[in-house]
Structure 1
């Protein structure tokens, strides 16, 4: 099950265990149970502090519980956690064995203080790069707090259960039998949703902060670069981010960032955060900005009002709020979101194994998604509005070589249809003949580009007709003391390396702005 290299690595990790742990399996006669027994046996052989038995009686078979010796409190895997989830398995073993998690004390205290009955079920797929964050967060909560029970379920292993619950997107989290959330969530986000007083306490903390020299709003590559460049000037820097790492968290592979031959999005996002934290930057994550209030006089303070009611103040502000997936905006899209309408083929593709799906979009993202899905699903129908696919020629050639792909150009998606609470088809209009056609299918993957996260700025800074922040060559906006960088701006080519360069440029411009402020005015502000 585990190759020699993985065994060697795992044995080294298990050397950090501080107390005995048990792997208690509930097995049946299935192939999955055979593979699970093999995996757990191999793990137990690597450490004297790990024991395995198959005395479990859980209703989900195959599954196994990781628990301290003499306790039944822990996390259950209804899965064979390899692939992207191998790290989740390793961490669950370490945390159960007493190895301390690398989380802030405040977050751990909040987990320990939770009271009630929290029974989590998280559905994941082994190819999903967003799932491990959620799996690890809920695993840690179950290991630390007896009020929390967590079961991690592989949708591929429990297909009948996935069908019954109509789980068509992962990660999908249920709490006490009801949908709690879907998509990537951090530990802090999950705890905040359970802690009803968290927003009020956080707002009070933010309100009490002194004014920053530079406040960066947004924590993607542009925001991270801006924070690093500003902090290196020795000034007071803060970052308020709704989700640190931004879109990179949802990116599978990154192979074009100069000096980094290959990495993945979540790791890249973690590296961004690590570098920002290396400097004396006040990082305020899970904070959504709602209003920008320009300074009322030259050299005065710019204010940013947050969703929780707090107001942050700064002598200069860098807007780097990035962008999000563009919706196709047709009937059925919102109704069937996560019920057949999806935006991440890497995460949700395995849930459509053997089924017929559509991809909307003929650019690189759409064609890459169609190629990826063609290896998993029964058939892919690609819908492109223009009269030709816009992806790179090599990708188009690859797509056209696949036998289970149909391509429609000059096709305008008009509706995503469904029945019984999930997608059952897509309608499109032939833009040449005007004929409306319907394609029966079970999933629709939307891949039509990005829209900037700038709605909250309307009426304060100049925006283009596409909603992008209008900036000059140095990142200045039309508001004194306010700069912008990255995918939310008019700068062409939305690429990670360009966003990072933009962030650095905006930080240097902000610093230049600050040093040119009259001393008397700056003190008075």
Structure 2
């Protein structure tokens, strides 16, 4: 199952295990069960602290699946299916934590997890190609290790297709708690704990309200925000970062192949590296904090948060990034995560053998259509313009695929469904004006980005597209307020450009602080 390189790496990790790990495998004579046993037998060979017991015919267990625990510990953690692909790291961490290796989580979060009271049975549906799923799986696995009242099963949706269809899971990760949908999409351990601990938001708001004013407050934790925070902290000034989710849109990015000097990386890995770099400095990181109002002042600029707290600073750097643009048609909101999706890498495997549409003919849309064509039965790509806008090499690849159709001059007008899931869409032929209907099961929207700036309307100058207008130093129309990254008018929305703009805005803010604190010119006296 594992190649020699993976075995060598895993063996090194398993040397950190300090207590026995007992694995119970629920299997039958099928091919997937044999693959599961091959994987578990590899683990046994790599560590003398791991034992595996087979269980056949268990009526209440998914097959194949396996559960992890340790003697004397009350741990309820299981994987249904093979945790390979992006989930292989989740397996490694689950083994280490079950085996007593301490997690790299702040002690306050550990204490909060241990203090949760109730019966929590979590089930997470993942796909091996989903880069968002590991954060959720790893967070809930950790919680199951730390608190015996928490159970977690990570389920490969592509393998348990009947279960996925019965629950109408059309987006991963999808998390169930005690049989009801708990959440969908990326969630970190802090966010999950905050949803369970109802008093956490109020306590954090009270704590934030007691903080002294910052010299530089960065709003946003993506590449631009991280770069701005690092450059500010290196100047030795009091720096804070308030982010709705640290990492920003990079967390939803699959392959990154144009980050200079790094031939290949993945969004979540880069986001982790960004946060680790910021934490090397004395920066106050305030995660899960949504800004909702900017209030300029004579002495301090105030950022009001959704939880009711307000942060004050002498200068502010706005780096709130952007999000996927929606079609804005009837039915889109109703069927989001019920057939309407925005991440083909994450959700594509759930549509195996089905008919889907991709909306958008740029690079993202054509790449999505190419990837999906290898999984689904048929892809129809819709482009509003009279021609595709993707790179020529991508267009040639798309044209070579037998199960892809392209419709040009096509405007999506409505998402259709049966109340539970998508059943099709209607679109207008912009040449003839005719409205047509296409039956399908999934719609992947890839039509660009929308800046996260709605909360700034009326506070500073925005472009007609909603982007923050900045000058060559990153200065906005409000003195002391700077901006950087995908939320600004700077062209070409790229990670590497956002980082450079974040650094520039931070240097601009530092220069502003120096100039605004310098003593004024002495008044001349009359002769």
TM over 0.5: yes
Q: 1:178 matched to which residue of 2?
A: 180
Deviations 1:448-479 (A, max 9, x none): 00000001111101111111111111111111
The SS at the match of 1:29 is coil
Compute the displacement of 1:74 (Å).
Answer: 2.9
The SS at the match of 2:24 is strand
> Superposed, which structure 2 residues align to 1:72-151 within 5 Å?
73-151=75-153
Q: 1-side partners of 2:334 and 2:111: how far apart?
A: 38
Q: 1-side partners of 2:105 and 2:491: how far apart?
A: 38
Q: 1-side partners of 2:495 and 2:283: how far apart?
A: 21
Q: 1:325 matched to which residue of 2?
A: 324
Q: 1:488 matched to which residue of 2?
A: 487
Q: 1:204 matched to which residue of 2?
A: 206
Q: 1:246 aligns with which of 220, 245, 248?
A: 248
Q: 2-side partners of 1:30 and 1:436: how far apart?
A: 48
Compute the displacement of 1:59 (Å).
Answer: 2.4
Q: 2-side partners of 1:256 and 1:439: how far apart?
A: 36
Query: For the Cα contact (< 8 Å) 1:74–1:96, is it kept in 2?
Result: no
Q: 1-side partners of 2:7 and 2:439: how far apart?
A: 46
* RMSD (Å), alpha carbons: 1.1
Q: 1-side partners of 2:115 and 2:72: how far apart?
A: 23
Q: 2-side partners of 1:211 and 1:430: how far apart?
A: 56
Query: For the Cα contact (< 8 Å) 1:455–1:467, is it kept in 2?
Result: yes
Q: 2-side partners of 1:257 and 1:16: how far apart?
A: 33
Q: 1:355 matched to which residue of 2?
A: 354
Query: For the Cα contact (< 8 Å) 1:216–1:317, is it kept in 2?
Result: yes
The answer for unaligned runs of 5 or more in structure 2 is 521-527
Q: 1-side partners of 2:15 and 2:236: how far apart?
A: 41
- Check if 1:214 corresponds to 2:221: no
Compute the displacement of 1:62 (Å).
Answer: 1.4
Compute the displacement of 1:194 (Å).
Answer: 0.3
Q: TM-score, normalised by structure 1?
A: 0.97
Q: 2-side partners of 1:234 and 1:47: how far apart?
A: 46
Query: For the Cα contact (< 8 Å) 1:68–1:74, is it kept in 2?
Result: no
The SS at the match of 2:258 is coil
Q: 1-side partners of 2:30 and 2:164: how far apart?
A: 18
Q: 2:27 matched to which residue of 1?
A: 27
Q: 1:258 matched to which residue of 2?
A: 260
Query: For the Cα contact (< 8 Å) 2:23–2:68, is it kept in 1?
Result: yes
> Superposed, which structure 2 residues align to 1:387-406 within 5 Å?
387-406=386-405
Q: 2-side partners of 1:63 and 1:485: how far apart?
A: 46
Query: For the Cα contact (< 8 Å) 2:74–2:148, is it kept in 1?
Result: no
Q: Count residues in correspondence.
A: 518
- Check if 1:232 corresponds to 2:234: yes
Q: 1-side partners of 2:491 and 2:183: how far apart?
A: 34
Query: For the Cα contact (< 8 Å) 2:76–2:145, is it kept in 1?
Result: yes
Q: 1:17 matched to which residue of 2?
A: 17
Query: For the Cα contact (< 8 Å) 2:383–2:409, is it kept in 1?
Result: yes
Query: For the Cα contact (< 8 Å) 1:252–1:265, is it kept in 2?
Result: yes
The SS at the match of 2:186 is coil
Compute the displacement of 1:12 (Å).
Answer: 1.5
Compute the displacement of 1:267 (Å).
Answer: 0.5
Q: TM-score, normalised by structure 2?
A: 0.97
Q: 2:524 matched to which residue of 1?
A: none
Compute the displacement of 1:27 (Å).
Answer: 1.4
Compute the displacement of 1:519 (Å).
Answer: 5.0
Q: 2-side partners of 1:209 and 1:310: how far apart?
A: 10
Q: 2-side partners of 1:71 and 1:237: how far apart?
A: 42
Compute the displacement of 1:73 (Å).
Answer: 1.9
Q: 2-side partners of 1:227 and 1:219: how far apart?
A: 9
Q: 2-side partners of 1:278 and 1:508: how far apart?
A: 19
Q: 1:46 matched to which residue of 2?
A: 46
